[in-house]
Structure 1
Amino acid sequence: MIAQFINSTLRKVPAWPLYVLGAVPPAWLFYSGVTGGLGVDPVKEMEHQMGLWGLWLIIAGLCVTPLRRWGNINLMKFRRPIGILTFFYIAGHLLIWLVLDVQIPSQILADIIKRPYVTIGMGAFVLMIPLVVTSNNWSVRKLGAAKWQKLHKLTYLAAILGGLHFVWLVKGWQIEPMIYTAVIVGLVALRWIPKRKRVAVAA
């Protein structure tokens, strides 16, 4: 009954407002950085916050299928905007690092090669590019549903790499990034757990 109520309510809610809502946090973050509201190192704070929000969106996107499969809650129409917003948040995280933090091209290249957390993070971002490019109905028709679904399984690898990027980024074994990574791995693993068929019980 609860799932039916949620689904009937969400049918009346369009997906496009997510794009508008998704633009608010980065705008607020930029404003806070410019006006001195992010402390002594606003660039690092913006960089970290955009990456963290990106992880939240990755987890939100990974929750859609398990909620439908085991909770009968259908959020499928929101998965595309969540995925697109995820890409742009991670792209913002990357751009802040490139343009405002490191800035020097030779140092950027050296970091990508020598620092594992940068290498892993860059790999995750590269995997996301074909996903966002094909996040439209034209690509589904052009590729065919089977090939499109196969391509978008890259989401799982990109998500896991994103979690590992966070784990490797922080100094020492901190609990927060490990929790995020464990949640991501758990949500990905749920895809391969077969759903038990309900057995009808005679009255």
Structure 2
Amino acid sequence: GNLGAHPVERITHFTGLTSLTFLVITLGITPARKLLGLSPLIQLRRMLGLYAFFYAVLHFTIYGLDRTLFEGTGLSLGSIIEDVAKRPYITVGFTAFLILVALAATSTNGMVKRLGGKRWQRLHQLVYVAAALGVLHFLWLVKADIRQPATYGLVLVGLLGARLVRERRRRATPSAALAPPVRSGVAVGSS
């Protein structure tokens, strides 16, 4: 396809948008599975999350190469760090990237066992923070037409809202594990 007058900028935008898209799709898996009763969807979640990470790595790499090679600063990590510290939209994007690095590094079955299920789940809830920072990065990057980042933001708010409602219902409903076992219609241990 035609990359236009600024091909590096177009590729950087494409990889960032693709990463954010995969991230939002990943977050939509659980609500879609619950609403539609499509349990096999859950098997796709880890893979889609890793696709989001892959495109985030491409996005950051292209940004870094553009910053250091094409803008005349030379291949310098210091130049990238300075840019991260100076530009708020890059700061939030880089923070989201670091979260995705941690999530990708702990996405294996072995890491779930090492961290323990509860700690692993708490860590992986940071995916919502990464997605929110990704939307903010996108919003601050575009200057005039905010429809696309606003759409991603609204979808993310909807997904987060669905998660909060599900969590609130889960906490309000007594767990079956805590209720006394029932045999022949009479709870065991009840008088």
Instruction: Please give the TM-score of this superposition, normalised by the length of structure 2.
Output: 0.79
The alpha carbon displacement at 1:173 in A equals: 5.2
Secondary structure of the corresponding residue to residue 109 of structure 1: helix
The match for 1:80 among 46, 57, 63 is: 46
Gaps in structure 1 of 5+ consecutive residues:
1-31, 198-203
In structure 2, list runs of 5 or more residues that go unmatched.
174-191
CA distance in 2, matches of 1:122, 1:83: 17
The answer on whether the counterparts of 1:43 and 1:101 sit within 8 Å (CA) in structure 2 is no
Aligned positions, number: 162
Partner of 1:161: 133
Q: Which moved more, 1:132-141 or 1:93-102?
A: 93-102
CA contact (8 A) 1:50 1:92 kept: yes
CA deviations over 1:41-80 (Å, ceiling 9, x no partner) = 1101100000111111011101111012222222111011
1:32-181 matches, cutoff 5 A: 37-74=2-39, 75-103=41-69, 104=73, 105=76, 106-172=78-144, 174-181=146-153
CA contact (8 A) 2:132 2:153 kept: yes
Q: Radius of gyration: which is bigger?
A: 2
Q: Which runs of 4+ in 1 moved over 3 A?
A: 194-197
Name the SS for the 1:185 alignment partner: helix
TM-score under structure 1 normalisation?
0.74
